Amino acid sequence: IEQRLKDEAGTYGLVIKNLKTQETYFYNENQQFTTASLYKLWVMAVAFEQINQGNLRENDSVSLSRGQIEEIQGFWEEGIDQDAYYSVSDAIEQMIVVSDNDSAITLYTHMGEDKIDEFLKRHNFASSGFGSPPITNPKDIADYLEKLYKGTIVNREYSNKMLELLFNQRLNDRLPKYLPEKTRVAHKTGELDSFKHDVGIVELEGGD
């Protein structure tokens, strides 16, 4: 990895961990980056927390006007003029499997942004923040994924639901790109300007 990246102009951060043997490789693991769409991992977790606590139901409707979305987003998306309407379950699925922005914004606005920050503090993701823009580092995201793997994000039932959504990811041009076709990868991409991220769990016989 270091040989491959030494002449690259960009800034990279990686964490690789074998969850069976606990072998770990770090490269700029504390480097902060804008999250791009990785923040949707946090929104998903908080949504399932709210469902588990009875404050939200999967068939509840959430909506936001186009004007509100564009104001929050900070730019107007050409060719999109309709307001956003989703069920909670559809919003969660759309923001994960196709990284839909409208559904994510609608969902976290409905729940309250403060719940995202509270989630980050409670799980000790100390280098992550849901500001403008949201920020994180590879170490925090790796810790999130390991907690998800171990069933400690909400609980085992909801961690499994989140993993299944990540396994259904349709944007597969990064982590899965050079892997054998049937390799299962539960992952989430992020993209913003020149930044590209991908984070996830790769199922392998020698250790996920």
Q: What would the mean pLDDT of 88-95 be, rounded to a whole number?
A: 98
The pTM for the full model equals 0.95
Q: Considering the chain, what is the average pLDDT of its residues?
A: 95
Tens of pLDDT, residue by residue over 183-208, are 999 999 999 988 899 999 999 999 99
Q: Is the pLDDT of residue 78 over 80?
A: no
Query: What pLDDT score does 45 carry?
Result: 98
Q: Within 13 A of 43's CA, how many CA atoms are on the CB side?
A: 32
Pairing of strands 195-202, 185-192: antiparallel
Q: Is the pLDDT of residue 79 over 70?
A: no
Tens of pLDDT, residue by residue over 128-153, are 999 999 999 999 999 999 999 999 99
Q: What pLDDT band is residue 76 in, cutting at 50, 70 and 90? A: low
User: Which of these ranges, 11-15, 49-53, 71-75, has the smallest mean pLDDT?
Assistant: 71-75
Query: What pLDDT score does 193 carry?
Result: 87
Q: Is the pLDDT of residue 96 over 70?
A: yes
Q: How far is CA 172 from the centre of its chain?
A: 14
Q: What would the mean pLDDT of 66-86 be, rounded to a whole number?
A: 81
Q: What would the mean pLDDT of 7-14 be, rounded to a whole number?
A: 93
